[in-house]
Amino acid sequence: MQTDPENEIIARVKAGMTNEFEHLVRRYQAPLFRIVANLVDRVAVEDIVQDVFLTAFSQIHRFDPRRGAFRTWLYRIARNRALNARRKKRERLMQQQAVIADGPAPDGDLLTREAFRQLDHALARLDFKDRVIFVLAELEGLSYAQIAEVESLPLGTVKSRLHRVREKLRQALAPYME
Amino acid sequence: MKEENPFYDHWKTHRRQIVVPEHFTADVMQHIRIATAPENNECPLELVDRQSRLVSWSAAGGLILLGVFRILFIIANLMRPQMLMP
């Protein structure tokens, strides 16, 4: 029987080979930065992702590869940590999210920047679950089934929510359709 | 969506542009090594949260008790006979 190399790494970490965890950090740090940065204020991203890894390490004995993939388990921790961070900052952060073009400013003309601003606003107004679904599907390319696992939602709900999110974003872009 | 508007894909690309700091992996592993070092084994990572929560609750309990005693002290002072006399 073929074993998943990732599960072998996890087994070694569980057996006390702490340094093996570095492979997992290197593999998942970029996607976790992307996911968290699109769910919370970018200023807090590094701390949150670090917390995700520390939590994953301390809880790794609870991870059972027969019950799901490590990736979705890790993303679920990230999603929960991001939600906690948002709750701490409450409404103030929610308002700031509307202008979270706090990454590099988009290149391009005024029209592009305005369209981006509208999309950022539309994203900021989404319900947290919808936002997670959008980030996992559209930015990380996860399948419906994987998203359902992260969000603990039925497959059909994920599909309908994602459809609704895309519709909202489409509406935000409506003025730029001509 | 992709076919409908060129801004959408451009925007998604923009939202994916996040750089992981170079020191990040080393920082995480450093935290883990410190937490798992033999001298710290009495307090593994999962216990840190629990212990800090316990300290917070103890501190809060102490403050509440202090407040209650302070209120009782004020009431006791108000009830003294000389305070009731003109």
The CA distance from A177 to B5, in Å, is 7
Sign of CA dihedral A76, A81, A83, A84: positive
Give the contacts of A43 (CB within 8 A, at least 6 positions apart): A102
Nearest to A26 among B15, B18, B25 (CB): B25
CA A154 to chain CA centroid, nearest Å: 18
Q: What is the pLDDT of residue A178?
A: 57
More confident residue, A117 or A3: A117
Per DSSP, the three-state class of A94 is helix
Per DSSP, the three-state class of A53 is helix
pLDDT for A71 beyond 60: yes
Q: What is the pLDDT of residue A111?
A: 81
Q: Choose from A25, A61, A111, A113 for mutation: most chain B CBs within 10 A.
A: A25
The length of chain B in residues reads 86
The per-residue pLDDT for range A45-65, each reduced to its tens digit, is 999 999 999 999 999 999 999
Q: B2 falls in which pLDDT band (50, 70, 90)? A: very low
The CA distance from A8 to A45, in Å, is 29
pLDDT for B62 beyond 60: yes
CA distance B72 to chain A (A): 35
φ, ψ for residue B43, nearest 5 deg: -130, 70
Q: What is the pLDDT of residue A1?
A: 46
Query: Are residues A26 and B36, on separate chains, in Cβ contact within 8 Å?
Result: no
The CA distance from A36 to A78, in Å, is 7
Q: Where do we find the tokens 């407040």?
A: B67
Query: Are residues B45 and A116, on separate chains, in Cβ contact within 8 Å?
Result: no
Query: Are residues B18 and A34, on separate chains, in Cβ contact within 8 Å?
Result: yes
Dump the DSSP string for B56-71. Answer: HHHHHHHHHHHHHHHH
The CA distance from A148 to A95, in Å, is 28
Query: Are residues A116 and B14, on separate chains, in Cβ contact within 8 Å?
Result: yes
Lowest mean pLDDT among A26-30, A115-119, A128-132, A162-166: A115-119
Mean pLDDT, rounded, for B39-64: 75
The CA distance from A169 to A85, in Å, is 25
* DSSP-derived secondary structure letter, A60: G
pLDDT for A75 beyond 70: yes
Q: What is the pLDDT of residue A34?
A: 94
Nearest to B44 among A58, A115, A177 (CB): A58
Query: Are residues B20 and A33, on separate chains, in Cβ contact within 8 Å?
Result: yes
- Quick check: B7 contacting A, CB < 8 Å? yes
Give the contacts of B7 (CB within 8 A, at least 6 positions apart): A112, A115, A116, A119, A173, A176
More confident residue, A101 or B80: B80
Mean pLDDT, rounded, for B6-29: 90
Q: Is the ipTM of this complex over 0.85?
A: no
The CA distance from B74 to A6, in Å, is 65
Chain A residues near residue B8 by CB distance under 8 angstroms? 119, 169, 173
The CA distance from A82 to A169, in Å, is 22
The length of chain A in residues reads 178
Chain A residues near residue B15 by CB distance under 8 angstroms? 34, 38, 103, 139
Query: Are residues B28 and A53, on separate chains, in Cβ contact within 8 Å?
Result: yes
Shortest CA distance to A36 belongs to which of A148, A136, A149?
A136
Query: Are residues A33 and B29, on separate chains, in Cβ contact within 8 Å?
Result: no
The CA distance from A57 to A14, in Å, is 9
- Quick check: B2 contacting A, CB < 8 Å? no
What residue spans of chain B are helical by DSSP H? Answer: 6-16, 24-36, 45-78, 81-84
Q: Which residue of A has its CA nearest to B15?
A: A38
CA distance B22 to chain A (A): 11
Mean pLDDT, rounded, for B13-35: 91
